[in-house]
Structure 1
Amino acid sequence: MIELFISAFVTLFVVIDPPGCAPIYAGLTKGATSAQRRIMAIRAAVIAAIILLVFALFGEALLGALHIELDSFRIAGGIMLFWIALEMVFEKRTQRREDRAEKIAADPEIEDVSVFPMAMPMLAGPGAIAAIMLLMNTAQGLDQSLVVLGALALVLLLTMLALIAAGPLMRMLGTRVEAVITRLLGVLLAALAAQYVIDGLRGAFGI
């Protein structure tokens, strides 16, 4: 159980990437008050939790309706996560997030960033959806499923706290430290993604 929790926590933490989301959120909410930033951070985390919970509970049924084998999804999900890892290592993911944030900030009509772009696609993006579905598939029984969901809840709680403390946190860490953390998380995610692909190939070919 402990190993499953650690594996699920690390995977989701790396994919959702609270250290990477915090500076973007700080930039998007520069003109907001502390209370407004806190409310939007809580709302973003709650909406992301609902989205990921739906895919965690019903994602396998959706794959069945589309006649997609779980091993195929493991391989596809692993490749997707590996691509995200490469972008994290080479900072392309951060650059894309910053570009998206600049577009949103440039539109004066958009004030509440909790739903878009924070909840979707920054927190509950394709990578996070693929990760939670893969983790729920590896869980056996109700106990292990609750462990995975507990890891998801903890990651989203930490993400919410990181968003709330985004401004002070970035002033304390600085952009260089944030870049180093993101790269380290990217390397770890690449290894986890490779394992997903290996597991999918083993299941598909009966190795």
Structure 2
Amino acid sequence: MSSVLDTVLLVEVFVTLFVIMDPVGTVPIFLSLTNGRSPAAAKRAAWQAVAVSFLVITVFAFFGQQILSYLHISLPALQCAGGLLLLLVALELLTGNEKEPTAAAGTNVALVPLGTPLLAGPGAIVATMLFVEDVDGWSTFAAVALGIVAVHASLWAAMRFSLPILKVIRESGVLLVTRIAGLLLSAIAVQLVADAVRAFIAGEG
């Protein structure tokens, strides 16, 4: 196996997780959850949320198959469940009926709901586990690892600099991005379900 970095896989991992985890779409939710908190607390929540998400994604990347085996859950089953959940989220984004969670003062929103399930949700977990299946050497391992790190860096940057971003794209821009993200997310959700169905059929054959 060549030791050269698999840039095609790197780009695929980054783009897929970027669309699923949606750093730009996270901005209005982050602003809502950290509303009324000091700038220092908001900045701390940003990196804590990214750290929690990275930890969850990493755990499932390394031990996801073992966890599913212990619970007697197949990857296609998790993939289908993740797709259905993502489809619900996508429909809420498209119709504008999303209910952004609010947190009581003093609650660490970086852990829940920011870190998980908003960032490290079923879609990102399933996508990461599928990419890990493609790892067969240093080249692919580095590509998947760098892709995950790059996406989380984007998430941190989006939340860390959310106020300047909001000033640039304004509320109408956030609304437009949210609708586009909902459309892309719905397509990803349908693809996850379709792949899961094909996997089920192939398993029966």
TM-score (norm 1): 0.81
Contact 1:77 1:131 in 2 (8 A): no
How far the C-alpha of 1:157 sits from its partner, in A, is 0.6
2:182 maps to 1:186: yes
Which residue, out of 12, 16, 19, partners 1:7?
12
Aligned equivalents of 1:75, 1:130: Cα separation in 2: 9
Distance in 2, Cα, partners of 1:85 & 1:134: 21
Match for residue 136 of structure 2 among 137, 141, 145: 141
Residue 35 of structure 1: how far off its partner (Å): 3.0
Task: State the partner residue of 2:161.
Answer: 165
User: What is the aligned partner in structure 2 of residue 96 from structure 1?
Assistant: 99
Alignment deviations for residues 72-120 of structure 1 (CA, whole Å, 9 cap, x no partner): 333333333333322222233xx322xx12xx1xx3343x432233212
Deviations 1:109-149 (A, max 9, x none): 43x43223321232223333233223323x23143243223
Partner of 1:196: 192
In structure 2, the CA distance between the partners of 1:165 and 1:177, relative to structure 1 (3 Å rule), is same
Q: How does 1:38-57 map to 2 (within 5 A)?
A: 38-57=43-62
Q: Which residue of 1 aligns with 2:170?
A: 174
Structure number with the higher helix fraction is 1
In the alignment, structure 2 segments of 5+ residues that lack a partner are 1-5
Contact 1:89–1:183 (Cα < 8 Å) also in 2: yes
Confirm whether residue 61 of structure 1 aligns to residue 61 of structure 2: no
What is the one-letter code of the residue matched to 2:194? I
List alignment gaps of at least 5 residues for structure 1.
none
Counterparts of 1:108 and 1:205, CA distance in 2: 49
The answer to whether the 8 Å contact 1:15/1:189 transfers is yes
Three-state SS of the structure 2 residue aligned to 1:183 is: helix
Q: Is the CA contact (8 Å cut-off) linking 1:44 and 1:119 kept in structure 2?
A: yes
Distance in 1 (alpha carbons) for counterparts of 2:39 and 2:7:
37
Distance 2:159 2:168 in 1: 14
> Partner of 2:37: helix, strand, or coil?
coil
Partner of 1:25: 30
RMSD of aligned alpha carbons: 2.3
State the identity as a percent: 32
